[in-house]
Structure 1
């Protein structure tokens, strides 16, 4: 009789477990139907190897010997903030004696019991511990702030709360930059690109903008939120990500831009090409808008 209680089957599974359960033969596991992610961990051919899928594969590979952390944990908490699609899953283990294959990043850090939770049956660092780790591990200060913003926004906690973990784990690598990261973080930020846009303006020397500024339309009895705003100059800045090209969202964006323009706002809308490929254009455009007469 076939067993169907193989963890992760049939989306992410250990090949040896599927063979023992009678679901596949050794030849079938290594055939064209499946793709190996890590040693003995497979997914159906054609599966998009998203960070979530690779995190699930990493957890199966570790077989309860580690805790998913960093960008993988953020993804599983629903607060995805990885810098790229090829971001490597992080796994934290206490002590040494464990080796991981290529495509995994190992951290030998101390984890307290209350810093570990379960997501879909996998051991994952809690949102606060994940933010604490990414504030230390992220490849740059700005990416660290973006990660803390995203987790704090989605999981509803104040960025300053991660400093409590610094008191508990004062000797861990990377703690020196925590105060600056927390000082720049803002839990109201709506996305990673939004945070990076805000930090771009900050680092250029422009005045710090307000985050998620509310403009009320008393007549229509509704309110809109501007990603970043200079209320005294009535300059609004929006980051237009992928959802803004969907038909319904385009119509909503047109209506809100018209309403804000009618109220005297000058709206600047930037895309990923602007923020990541020509940041000097963004800074110059915002600077001109702030200097222009109202």
Structure 2
């Protein structure tokens, strides 16, 4: 990591300590400096800086480990979940652990005897990582995918935890069966009951954080669990549409319209697609970022969804004319 230097390395790279004093270098963490151009808020820079501070038997975990796995599995994706933003901070009894800054701290898993101090950008989580529970990604020791997912499930708030595990499973980084087996085996571990609840709501079929969030609203509305990204076909088996969320029995569809749906051409395609679905007897409930922005807006969307269910249940002409196949 030539763009990050320890204080003792400054001279070897012809950088004076006076440059750090004058503010020409970026102070990443105690004793670690970023060269000009490095941003202290950059997630990858913070992970690399935390890695430089590791002592024996300590590894990077949490969102930082997940970010490295996500980047390796889908390097060109714009749907990055593990951004290192503060709202992803772990579940904690101590309110200080939730933080007030824009950046979540990098979690370092460390045994109790390890001499490692927490800091503004590093949270030391005293938890032993067995020899088979860590690996190396991009030269950085991190918890394995299954241990990473287990820690996220038990330490993060539920909506964020579900989104995180949806992403890791969808990318093929880890399997739900593996996570569940580890969770069941870890009796009396902190956060285990929360992890089991999270695993009951996970669905690796979701292809974006927004789809995961919309599914959470659907479930919280007390309605049947929808399928993710199913293909709807007409009675002859011809393809009609692939939909984000679907109750295949009653024919209720949930669709999330991201920014790419704003063009006139895309709106026209969406309208034709919705008409084709409705001609088969399905009802479509659309959502945008506005519907996920506040609790009030989310509640309003849930009311729309419940009304759709009521209409489908009482329709006298309701005949299932659609077929559903997995993606």
TM-score (norm 1): 0.82
SS at match of 2:306: helix
1:284 counterpart = 2:284: no
The alignment of Structure 1 onto Structure 2 pairs a total of residues equal to 281
C-alpha distance in 2 between matches for 1:36 and 1:52: 15
Runs of 5+ unmatched residues, structure 2: 71-79, 89-101, 319-327
1:37 counterpart = 2:54: no
C-alpha distance in 1 between matches for 2:66 and 2:267: 29
SS at match of 2:53: helix
Structure 1 pair 188/48, CA: closer, same or farther in 2 (3 Å)?
Answer: farther
Structure 1 pair 89/216, CA: closer, same or farther in 2 (3 Å)?
Answer: farther
1 or 2 for the larger relative contact order (CA 8 Å, sep ≥6)?
2
Which residue of structure 2 aligns with residue 149 of structure 1? 166
1:74 counterpart = 2:88: no
**Structural RMSD (CA):** 3.0
1:3-14 alignment runs, 5 A limit? 8-10=1-3, 13-14=4-5
Which residue of structure 2 aligns with residue 126 of structure 1? 144
CA displacement at 1:20 relative to structure 2? 3.0
1:62 counterpart = 2:54: yes
Which of residues 212, 216, 226 in structure 2 aligns to 1:199?
216
Which residue of structure 2 aligns with residue 50 of structure 1? 42
CA displacement at 1:122 relative to structure 2? 0.4
The ranges of structure 1 where at least 4 consecutive aligned residues each deviate by more than 4 angstroms after the TM superposition are 216-219, 221-224, 250-254
1:204-226 CA distances to partner (integer Å, 9 max, x unpaired)? 2122222112124899x767432
TM-score (norm 2): 0.75
SS at match of 2:13: coil
C-alpha distance in 1 between matches for 2:33 and 2:44: 14
Structure 1 pair 260/156, CA: closer, same or farther in 2 (3 Å)?
Answer: farther
SS at match of 1:42: strand
C-alpha distance in 2 between matches for 1:113 and 1:31: 43
Higher mean C-alpha displacement, 261-270 vs 170-179: 261-270
CA displacement at 1:252 relative to structure 2? 5.0
C-alpha distance in 2 between matches for 1:172 and 1:124: 20
Structure 1 pair 280/157, CA: closer, same or farther in 2 (3 Å)?
Answer: same
Structure 1 pair 18/254, CA: closer, same or farther in 2 (3 Å)?
Answer: farther
Report if the CA contact (8 A) 2:107-2:124 is conserved.
yes
C-alpha distance in 2 between matches for 1:213 and 1:48: 42
